[in-house]
Amino acid sequence: MRFSAEEHARLRRRVRLRREISGWLFLGPMFACFVLFLVVPVFGTLWWSTRFGGLIGGTKFVGLDNFTRLITLVGAPQAIRNTLVFAGISVPLILAGALGIALLLARLEKGGAVYRFLVYFPVLVPGVVAALIWLFLTNSDFGLFNETLRAFGQSPVTWLSTDNALGILIALDVWRNVGYWAMFFVAAIIGLPDELYQAAKLDGASAFARFRFLTLPLLRRIIFFAIVVSTIWAFQVFDTAIVLTRGGPAGATTTVVYRVWQYVFGSSNKVGYASAISLVMIVAILALTLVQMRVLRSRRGGD
Amino acid sequence: MNRRLNREICTLAEAHIAGKLSRRSFVTRLLGLGLSATAVASISAEFRPAHAASDLKGNVRFLVGPWSPQEVDHHKKISEGFTALHPDVTFEFRLYDWETDDQEINTSATAGAHDIYMITESAYPDYEANEAFVDLTSRINDPAFAEEKAKYLYFDRTLGFGPRIMGLPISFHVESALFVNMDMVKAAGFDETFADSWDSFRNCLAKLNKPGEVYPIALGVQPYGEWYQVLRAAGGSFLTPDLSSANVNKPEVIDATARMASLFTDKLAAPLGTYNYDDGPAAFAGGKVAILSIDLAATTVVKLPLPFNWKLIPNPPQAAGRMNFNDITYYMINSKSSNTDLMWEVAKWWTTGEHDAYWADNSGTYPARVDALSNGYGTKAAPQLAEALPSYQKFSVGLESFAGWASVESLASAEVQKCFTGDVSAKEAIANVESVVKQETGH
């Protein structure tokens, strides 16, 4: 049976259409979720940032008032400082720790899977549960930390005091995330070309020199990715802060996202403030990421 | 009345069949009975409440706060009696979190996800001003409800927020009380009057201090309302009575706050962060803390009776100018609820003297009904609660009537805590609180 050229074209169109439709059907659920959970909330945040009011009781348009008032909000500098300190300390600790653990794990010949599981285990613990675990660890009367101190004849410490609470929050974050990035680095280290290391050894390069001049440059892409992503996550710290310390004491662990939460959930008519803070934060993270990309890319020598 | 009528008809019929009643008399009396029944029915219809329930049928969804660890069980217990009377009514109970109660209630009410809500007074002004919940004024002021209405306490206070009554009160709750280990206080050489003056109170704390073993006092464990009482006792408030301007930055308020902060700087109070809302009561029960500042619901967390003598006193601990901040809790009905009549019947059932007494007795709070005591209140609750009630009522003060009060209170508490840690002086902290008030209220 032979088809005319016109019928051929029609059949081709039908097949193409069918393929298009099935493609969209496969994409549909994901696209709907993307629109529902990302596009709509982003536009919703934009809309709310220009309004005064809450979910109940109506709103009114206030232009850019919510943004201009952010500068004078009492407690805002503390929240920003806490967030920056948190990110500035936790990100280097997480990445340095992850790299160190990855170097050790990559050298293991036996039992690697067990160690990898143990290192990765805290990542599997949800933030809220992790914070509850640390709440018990840091309890003044029966927590593991103070019990250990008492066992060594030391005085107990108030771990969640104003002086120590942010440090504990950072330690918790490092504990939770170091395993995640360690797995990334292990996979990258295992994939590095062995012949380069053999050649370096033949040339008499020390272990540190091999790490400094081979491993680090070869891992720079993954390290760059890790810096950018872990910095973004650090700026978004919230769940552990609310469970562990409720942003306190005296605002010692109040972060920017915590303030957003306070305005959305702790107040009946300040959704506009919360939205404005969120938008400023998105822009700040975007700007920081661009700076990081510029700095790290220039160090890579423009490749 | 139906049963009585039925009995009368049966008696007449039996008498007629037995030959004791002629046919004529039987019919005449039967007619008379029918006429009088009709008359009674028509008269009772006149007095029938405007909102009387007809057939009660449906599902009632509650959204309530977790006052005690067995909160849902207590509600289920109350629902059992209602279900026995009305088998076609079913119940669902969900708890919100105290940290997110406003927004959970807002989103739920907007979506019509629940029918009856437990709402604290701190949020009441917000809802009084909008249509999220049913205006119950006409039902509550219905003459048929007058006798019951008289048994509820605090409607006067409710009307302070506006002309409408949006809920039925269920509790009077003291947000910051001092739990005092009297055995320790007496061992330190003080009697029950130790808190009548600030100097005596402070001297007592100094004697109670056993570094490494016992903290004399734990403050800031549950900051909500704690400093607010100090503010009110010192003659301040967030806004002036006419709500026109901030009323925080006063010398008396600064002094009172500085006195509170001195307990931390002089190491008489457990450092902030030592105890939280969950482990504070355990530390008090375990003798690690001699005096604990926390809300009365803590009595449901500790295992009673405690192994020592203890009592509740108002906070701050001075006879002069004592002020006790408390709030009332209400049941309110969602405007989007499909069967308001059913919800009204359920809300009334939940707040009868018997049920209010049962719930309050198990929740570490005081009932909002005059007849609660005669209905069993005090059978389970710590006797210290009943003992302390007169002083809490005597010095009672509620929140101020402006929307967003809770938000101001939360931000103000965090600012004041900064002077407890020595980060700022009391004067700076109070200036910051005033800024918070201005920033949040626009006054």
- In sequence order, which ranges of B241-382 are alpha helices (DSSP H)? 251-265, 280-285, 340-350, 353-361
In this prediction, what percent of chain B has a pLDDT beyond 90?
A: 49
Q: Answer yes or no: do A56 and B410 touch at CB < 8 A.
A: no
Residues 6+ apart with CB under 8 A from A297: none
Q: Is B4 exposed, middle or buried (0-12, 13-18, 19+ CB in 10 A)?
A: exposed
pLDDT at B7 over 60: no
- Residues of B numbered 365-404 whose beta carbons fall under 8 angstroms of chain A's beta carbons: which are they? 403-404
- Residues of B numbered 251-280 whose beta carbons fall under 8 angstroms of chain A's beta carbons: which are they? 270-276, 279
Task: Give the residue-averaged pLDDT of B387-394.
Answer: 84
Q: Answer yes or no: do A249 and B286 touch at CB < 8 A.
A: no
Q: Answer yes or no: do A249 and B423 touch at CB < 8 A.
A: no
| Buried-exposed string B20-58: b where 16+ CB fall within 10 A, e elsewhere | ebeeeebeebeeeeeeebeeeeeeeeeeeeebeeeebeb
With contacts defined as CB-CB under 8 Å, which chain A residues touch B223? 248
Give the model's pLDDT for residue B303. 82
Give the model's pLDDT for residue B321. 60
pLDDT at A302 over 50: no
Q: In whole angstroms, what is the distance from residue B294 CA to residue B223 CA?
A: 8
Task: Give the residue-averaged pLDDT of B40-50.
Answer: 45
Chain A positions contacting chain B at CB under 8 Å are 54-58, 69, 72-75, 135, 139-141, 155-156, 158-162, 164-165, 242, 245-252, 254, 262-270
- Residues of B numbered 143-182 whose beta carbons fall under 8 angstroms of chain A's beta carbons: which are they? none
Cα distances from B80 to residues B76, B84, B142, B232, B317, in angstroms, run 6, 6, 27, 42, 43
Model confidence at B48, pLDDT cuts 50, 70, 90, reads very low
Q: Which of B51-65, B161-175, B372-386 has the highest mean pLDDT?
A: B161-175
Measure CB to CB from residue B417 to each of A72, A135, A249 and give the nearest one: A249
For A242-270, the pLDDT digits (tens) are 889 888 888 899 999 998 988 887 776 78
The alpha carbon dihedral of A273, A278, A284, A287 has a sign of negative
Q: Answer yes or no: do A267 and B407 touch at CB < 8 A.
A: yes
- Mean of per-residue pLDDT scores for chain A: 88
